Amino acid sequence: MDFLLETIRESFRLVFSADAEVMSALAVSLQVSSAAAAICGISGIPAAYVLWRSRFPGRGAVLLFNNAMLGVPTVALGMVLYLVLCRRGPMGFLELLYTKEAMILGEALLGLPIVISLGHSTLSALNPAALETALTLGAGRFRTALTLIVEARIGLAAAVMTAFGRLLGEVGVSMILGGNIAGDTRNIPTAIALETGKGESALCLSLGMILIAAGFVIFVLLRAVQGSARGGNA
């Protein structure tokens, strides 16, 4: 019991003393996950729109593959990307392995199916009158797409935030592609994995508390975004 209380006390001290190691891991987590979530949003929302609006051979297979990717083990994806990015791999010349850029790439690929799948569902649930109104008012293809994405913005924002939340706590891709280098590619999940092995319970707990707090902040932000975005069409 004393051990548990002491661990909790020490973890709070680490959080509130802004421990350099903790802050560095937090910064890497936020940088990598934010960049990856942004890529997911920028590429995933248009992809979801195209999959929703277009009819082309293989569309069903693409949707099926995307949905299957939702359940892909992160270590498996990390391993595949490792083979691609390692020095002897086809993209080895880019020298991305063990960099934040490699982590961003891996996390973006991990988050993309989430945004596409949730984005596709959101757009499919959009009032069909929104599309018809844009068309009958003479909107071209691009204006129609922009209009419908704006109309579905609440659900699409939720899709990106959900992906961000998932990426913030992801270990496999970060560990394999980032290499868990202290002060460089070590983020909160990889730090927790490392420190657990070393028996640094207080540090692990403090990092875990930060992850939970980050998740809480994400959902508060999401509610705020949804609240301010409401008031479009009833």
Partner 1 sequence: MSVLSFEGLKKRYGGRLVLDAGRGALESGKCQVLAGPNGSGKTTLMRIIALLEEPDSGTVELDGAPVLGLGGDPLVRARRRICYVSQNPYLFAGSVMGNVLYGLKARGIGSGEARKAAALELESLGMSGFAHARASGLSAGERQKAALARAFAAKPDFLLLDEPTAFVDRESVPLIEKRIESLRAESGACCLVATHDAGLARRIAPDSAMFLDSGRLLEGSRENFFRGAASASGSGIVFTAAPGVVLSSAAPAGFEGTCSASISPDEIILSRTPVSSSARNMLEGSVEKIEKAGTRVFVTLDAGIPLVASISVESLASLDLSPGKGVFALFKASAVRIHAEFPHPKS
Cβ neighbours of 141 (radius 10 Å):
8
Applying CB under 8 A, does 233 fall inside the site for partner 1?
Answer: yes
CA 80 to chain centroid, in Å, comes to 19
Q: What is the full DSSP assignment across 27-77?
A: HHHHHHHHHHHHHHHHHHHHHHHHHHH---TTHHHHHHHHHHHTT--HHHH
Interacting residues with partner 1 between 200 and 229 (CB under 8 A): 229
Q: Minimal distance in Å, beta carbon 2 to partner 1?
A: 57
Applying CB under 8 A, does 138 fall inside the site for partner 1?
Answer: yes
Q: Minimal distance in Å, beta carbon 92 to partner 1?
A: 43
Applying CB under 8 A, does 125 fall inside the site for partner 1?
Answer: no
Applying CB under 8 A, does 132 fall inside the site for partner 1?
Answer: yes
Q: How far apart are CA 73 and CA 106, in angstroms?
A: 12
Applying CB under 8 A, does 199 fall inside the site for partner 1?
Answer: no
Applying CB under 8 A, does 151 fall inside the site for partner 1?
Answer: yes
Applying CB under 8 A, does 27 fall inside the site for partner 1?
Answer: no
Residues that bind partner 1 (CB under 8 A): 127, 129-130, 132-141, 143, 147, 150-151, 153, 229-234
